[in-house]
């Protein structure tokens, strides 16, 4: 059985740990392909950092910081402190000493001309995440967030000036508390899907949209030219998992992102946003939490088969149960 998962960072990685319980690879054959979000990627002190790719790689490879959900366990931030003492910006980004080794290897390989897909595969030779991890694109496409100027600048008529922040600055430095007027994926018009991305969606037994951020993680991957059309046209069933439980995101700031694009922060709202494949959308089925069971008729009215099940991934076993629900919903278990 082959399964393709479009994944962001922390939520997607937690889901994948559960899916691996249900569909274990045997080392040589990797049944799970992950299409990873690279819209969060950023140049920091001359190093190329790929947060969502690294979160999947570290989480499934056993190196993730369980406390933070990102970056390495047993991490120190000595280099970060030294850079701050030199007065070098940005100081708001948590650049870990162990994590720097990953960025150094990646940056050198990219500088030598290797595409991100090959560089990611090389990094995974160390971490052995047990999945095929494909960047959504080898081309640079970064999420920027349009906000009112944080320094309060105004135009002559008194209206606030607007500025675009890199997603990481909005997310980390400002905790997504600056109202986002718009998300702009800079460079996406010139970007191509990674070499195996479309075939991983078209030639598989199941496509899953896990409970990652539907705007800046899954939504970003779907903006890569050809990806959304591949999801609409694949012969495989497409099953999504609501990232909203009881009208709120489990973690992160998906509600701030959904507000920006005018989507209700509800299980039904996000399901309708992805849409039914019978009506030109992306999904065959939408899995929502028991806390949102009242939304089921709305989900069905949007043309989606609706499964109500526990979706809170409190541990690997809970994530495994959720993954199993995805397979049964798709008729594969």
281 forms part of the interface with ligand FO1 (CB under 6 A): no
121 forms part of the interface with ligand FO1 (CB under 6 A): no
115 forms part of the interface with ligand FO1 (CB under 6 A): no
64 forms part of the interface with ligand FO1 (CB under 6 A): no
Q: 99 with 75: CB under 8 angstroms?
A: yes
79 forms part of the interface with ligand FO1 (CB under 6 A): no
Q: Which is nearer to ligand FO1, 18 or 252 (CB)?
A: 252
Question: In the complex, what is the shortest distance from the CB of residue 9 to ligand FO1, in angstroms, rounded to a whole number?
Answer: 3
143 forms part of the interface with ligand FO1 (CB under 6 A): no
41 forms part of the interface with ligand FO1 (CB under 6 A): no
**Residue 208 backbone phi and psi in degrees, to 5:** -120, 135
- State how far the alpha carbon of 89 is from the alpha carbons of 39, 93, 279, 295, in Å: 21, 9, 48, 46
Q: Which residue is nearest to ligand FO1 (CB)?
A: 94
193 forms part of the interface with ligand FO1 (CB under 6 A): no
13 forms part of the interface with ligand FO1 (CB under 6 A): no
Interacting residue with ligand FO1 among 15, 171, 183, 286 (CB under 6 A): 171
- CA nearest 44: which of 78, 76, 85, 92? 92
Please give the Cα distance from 141 to 238 (Å, whole number): 25
The helix (run of H) or strand (run of E) holding residue 214 is none
55 forms part of the interface with ligand FO1 (CB under 6 A): yes
99 forms part of the interface with ligand FO1 (CB under 6 A): yes
Query: In the chain, what is the straight-line distance between the N-terminal and C-terminal CA atoms, in Å?
Result: 11
Question: In the complex, what is the shortest distance from the CB of residue 333 to ligand FO1, in angstroms, rounded to a whole number?
Answer: 29
| Residue written as token pair 């496509």 | 207
- CA nearest 13: which of 158, 211, 156? 211
If 0-12 CB within 10 Å is exposed, 13-18 middle and 19+ buried, where does residue 92 land? exposed
142 forms part of the interface with ligand FO1 (CB under 6 A): no
70 forms part of the interface with ligand FO1 (CB under 6 A): yes
Give me the residues that bind ligand FO1 (CB under 6 A), please: 8-10, 40, 49, 51-52, 54-55, 70-71, 93-94, 99, 168, 171-172
């Amino acid at each position: 059985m082959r399964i393709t998962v479009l994944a962001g960072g922390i939520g997607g990685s937690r889901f994948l740990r559960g899916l691996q319980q249900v569909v274990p690879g045997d080392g040589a054959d990797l049944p799970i392909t992950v299409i990873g979000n690279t819209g969060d990627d950023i140049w920091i002190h001359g190093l190329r950092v790929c947060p969502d790719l690294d979160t999947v790689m570290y989480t499934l490879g056993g190196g993730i910081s369980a406390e933070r959900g990102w970056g390495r366990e047993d991490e120190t931030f000595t280099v970060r402190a030294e850079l701050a003492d030199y007065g070098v910006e940005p100081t708001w980004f948590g650049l870990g000493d162990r994590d720097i080794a990953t960025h150094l290897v990646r940056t050198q390989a990219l500088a030598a001309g290797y595409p991100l897909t090959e560089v990611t595969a090389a990094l995974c030779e160390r971490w052995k995440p047990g999945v095929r991890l494909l960047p959504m694109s080898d081309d640079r496409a970064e999420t920027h967030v349009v906000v009112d100027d944080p320094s309060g600048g105004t135009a002559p008529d008194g209206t606030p000036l607007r500025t675009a922040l890199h997603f990481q600055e909005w997310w980390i430095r400002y905790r997504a508390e600056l109202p986002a007027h718009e998300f702009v994926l800079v460079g996406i018009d010139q970007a191509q899907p990674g070499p195996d991305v479309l075939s991983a969606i078209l030639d598989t037994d199941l496509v899953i949209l896990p409970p990652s951020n539907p705007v800046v993680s899954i939504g970003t991957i779907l903006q890569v030219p050809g990806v959304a059309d591949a999801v609409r046209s694949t012969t495989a069933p497409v099953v999504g998992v609501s990232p909203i439980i009881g009208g709120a995101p489990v973690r992160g700031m998906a509600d701030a992102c959904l507000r920006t694009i005018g989507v209700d922060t509800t299980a039904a709202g996000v399901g309708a946003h992805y849409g039914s494949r019978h009506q030109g959308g992306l999904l065959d089925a939408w899995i929502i939490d028991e806390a949102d069971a009242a939304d089921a008729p709305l989900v069905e009215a949007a043309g989606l088969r609706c499964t109500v099940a526990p979706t809170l991934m409190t541990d690997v076993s809970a994530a495994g149960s959720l993954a199993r629900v995805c397979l049964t919903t798709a008729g594969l278990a």
